[in-house]
Amino acid sequence: MQFFFLFYILLLVPILCPLAENFSFIDKIAVFLVCGLLFASIWTLSLFISSKSEKVIYSVMLAISIIPGSIYLAYLLFANVMLEQNSVTSLFETNPEESKEFVAHYLSIWVIVGVLVYAAIPIVMVCTMRSFRPLKIREHKTLFIFGIITLLSIVGINRVSRSVYFINFYKTFVSYKIRTSGEVKDIRKRQTEPYEVKINQQDTIPQVFVIVIGESLNKHHMSLYGYPRNTNPLLSQYGDSLVVYQDIVAPHVHTIPVIRSLLSMSDYEHSEYFSKKPSMYELFNRAGYDTYLISNQGFSEELRSSFDILFSLAGTKYNLATYKQHDDIILPVLDKVLKKDNKKNKLIIIHLIGNHMAYEFRYPKEYIVFNNKKDGLVPDALYRDEKAKKTIDRYDNSVLYNDSIINSVILSLKELQDQDAVMVYLSDHGEELYDYRDFAGHAYEKVSPTMSEIPFMVWISPSFQKYRTDLVFDKTRPYSSEDFIYSISDLAGLNYSDYDDTRSLFSTKFTPRKRYVGEKTYEEIKEKFEK
Ligand SMILES: [Zn+2]
């Protein structure tokens, strides 16, 4: 029974890991080898201890492996992916509200039954273990030493222990905690240190910059990007005054890492710039702007997720997510902010819940518009059943609603008098909607082009356009929102020692850079799916 217990706890995940589409053959062999060795070492050591202590040790093993085990197995069996470090981190960061909706979308009775059965089997095993007489260490020294050395090397060497699912799970948790608390400390300390931010052109007219960060918007579901359903009836009326960028990708496919990247100078090569260099609110605060955050997505002043520290630097914060309303809740707050002291420069960041799963909760009932059975505009595909098509209908309703929200933001800016205004809308990342397979959502392990590509639009007031003729609005430029901080700095004419002209989307000196989505290049991702 002891043998079967260890086999179950340590080798079930590796045996199923050939199901993982995101793992190469070598990765799978590594998982199998490392877990096999761990199994051998624990089995060997268990021969030396009394049955009583063995039961205690196995119960502890069971307790620590059951949660990560259920999560890994659920992902393997239902999504055919092996969780990677990035996603394990985002499991710890996801706010409870978001997790609830995620679970609601993916949970089925089979998942619940599976997890219950998975947990029940080893409990029965531990209870029915028979006692035996342990070996004596001095009679089997070599065997004992083999067990100890193998066990310690697997647990101690990071590269090796990554292949053991539950060790990886806990190590990721610990390093995440250490990293985030260090970041918070560094960023707070930064605020008291000198760092000069100047404004290039001192215009007498106050400027208002509104950055709307959307959520999970697949640009291929927007009529502005050529989608056959009219999901942008309002924004499409702007013609050339709304610049719609065609080739922008996100640096990650999960909200938190994207926001961390958008609002800071951290990038693929320098993740440490997150806390070592000033972030967006800090730059604008130092340049004398009034800064605001209007958020309809979980944000916590107690810094529960690792982007909260960046948002917390906003001068005034409106946390609207607590009201659990649709995105129009931001509009009266925006109007209030716009009306405040109209002599001051303002940076207003709006964080929408946008098109986040579960899509049907993202719009009021007046926006229940699309029906594939009537319009026939959701093409047939092997992996797109009736349920999938219905999900696409709901998603498109949410895109239509988002169109009205962005339009309302622009209308509010149009009403401003004697102020220049710019609105930039970008989605944090995209979303896959049964584009290549039976899957909707966004997940690093399944990263695809439609998850990585994002809509990106800029609206500029006519007065600002006249004033800043040096800016270039070329909608074909290939760009990653990883460099967004340089673009917004350029729009506002901010000048500071870390500013890099070549990374601004609007600069004459713009130079395209290699674009990464997580650890992969965008080209690699495209190639994989265009085959
Ligand atoms: Zn997101």
The residue-averaged pLDDT of 102-120 equals 76
What is the pLDDT at residue 43? 87
Q: Is the distance from CB of 481 to CB of 261 less than 8 angstroms?
A: yes
What is the pLDDT at residue 95? 63
- Lowest-confidence pick of 91-105, 260-274, 429-443: 91-105
Task: Write down the H helix ranges in 76-157.
Answer: 85-93, 96-106, 109-127, 141-156
> What is the band of 483 on the pLDDT scale with cuts at 50, 70, 90?
very high
- Identify the residue with better confidence: 116 or 312: 312
Distance 145 CA to ligand 1 centre (A): 49
Task: Write down the H helix ranges in 240-316.
Answer: 255-262, 273-276, 280-286, 308-311
Distance 18 CA to ligand 1 centre (A): 29
What is the pLDDT at residue 102? 64
What is the pLDDT at residue 502? 97
Q: Is the distance from CB of 35 to CB of 164 less than 8 angstroms?
A: yes
What is the pLDDT at residue 61? 87
Distance 261 CA to ligand 1 centre (A): 13
The residue-averaged pLDDT of 362-387 equals 95
Cα–Cα dist 383/362, whole Å: 25
At 512-526, the pLDDT tens digits run 999 999 999 999 999
What is the pLDDT at residue 22? 83
Distance 113 CA to ligand 1 centre (A): 29
Distance 99 CA to ligand 1 centre (A): 12
Strand, helix or coil at 429?
coil
What are the structural domain ranges in the chain? 2-181, 200-530
What is the pLDDT at residue 323? 83
Distance 302 CA to ligand 1 centre (A): 21
How many CB atoms sit inside 10 A of residue 108's CB? 9
> What is the band of 472 on the pLDDT scale with cuts at 50, 70, 90?
very high
Distance 295 CA to ligand 1 centre (A): 13
Distance 366 CA to ligand 1 centre (A): 25
- Identify the residue with better confidence: 122 or 482: 482
What is the pLDDT at residue 223? 97
What is the pLDDT at residue 98? 61
- Answer whether residue 480 shows pLDDT above 80: yes
Distance 356 CA to ligand 1 centre (A): 7
What is the pLDDT at residue 185? 94
Cα–Cα dist 512/478, whole Å: 6
The secondary structure element, H or E, covering residue 484 is helix 484-492
Report which residue type is found at 302. Answer: E
The CA distances from residue 489 to 10, 239, 353, 445, 495, in Å, are 51, 26, 25, 33, 8
Distance 257 CA to ligand 1 centre (A): 9
Distance 292 CA to ligand 1 centre (A): 20
Distance 357 CA to ligand 1 centre (A): 9
Distance 432 CA to ligand 1 centre (A): 12
- Answer whether residue 300 shows pLDDT above 90: no
What is the pLDDT at residue 159? 84
What is the pLDDT at residue 89? 81
Distance 98 CA to ligand 1 centre (A): 10
Distance 176 CA to ligand 1 centre (A): 19
What is the pLDDT at residue 96? 62
Biggest distance spanned by C-alpha atoms of the chain: 90
Distance 210 CA to ligand 1 centre (A): 19
What is the pLDDT at residue 183? 93
> What is the band of 489 on the pLDDT scale with cuts at 50, 70, 90?
very high
At 277-298, the pLDDT tens digits run 999 999 999 999 999 999 999 8
Q: Against a cut of 0.75, is the pTM above it?
A: yes
Distance 236 CA to ligand 1 centre (A): 24
At 45-64, the pLDDT tens digits run 888 888 788 888 888 988 88
Distance 312 CA to ligand 1 centre (A): 19
- Lowest-confidence pick of 53-62, 226-235, 261-270: 53-62
Distance 216 CA to ligand 1 centre (A): 5
Topology, domain 200-530: Alkaline Phosphatase, subunit A (3.40.720)
- Answer whether residue 131 shows pLDDT above 80: no
Distance 428 CA to ligand 1 centre (A): 5
The residue-averaged pLDDT of 117-141 equals 82
Distance 90 CA to ligand 1 centre (A): 11
Distance 447 CA to ligand 1 centre (A): 13
Distance 215 CA to ligand 1 centre (A): 5
- Answer whether residue 333 shows pLDDT above 70: yes
Cα–Cα dist 381/164, whole Å: 38
Distance 280 CA to ligand 1 centre (A): 19
What is the pLDDT at residue 67? 87
- Answer whether residue 97 shows pLDDT above 70: no
> What is the band of 419 on the pLDDT scale with cuts at 50, 70, 90?
very high
- Answer whether residue 233 shows pLDDT above 70: yes
> What is the band of 355 on the pLDDT scale with cuts at 50, 70, 90?
very high
Distance 259 CA to ligand 1 centre (A): 9
Averaged pLDDT of the chain:
91
What is the pLDDT at residue 316? 97
Cα–Cα dist 514/120, whole Å: 49
The residue-averaged pLDDT of 98-109 equals 66
What is the pLDDT at residue 140? 86
Distance 87 CA to ligand 1 centre (A): 13
Distance 253 CA to ligand 1 centre (A): 7
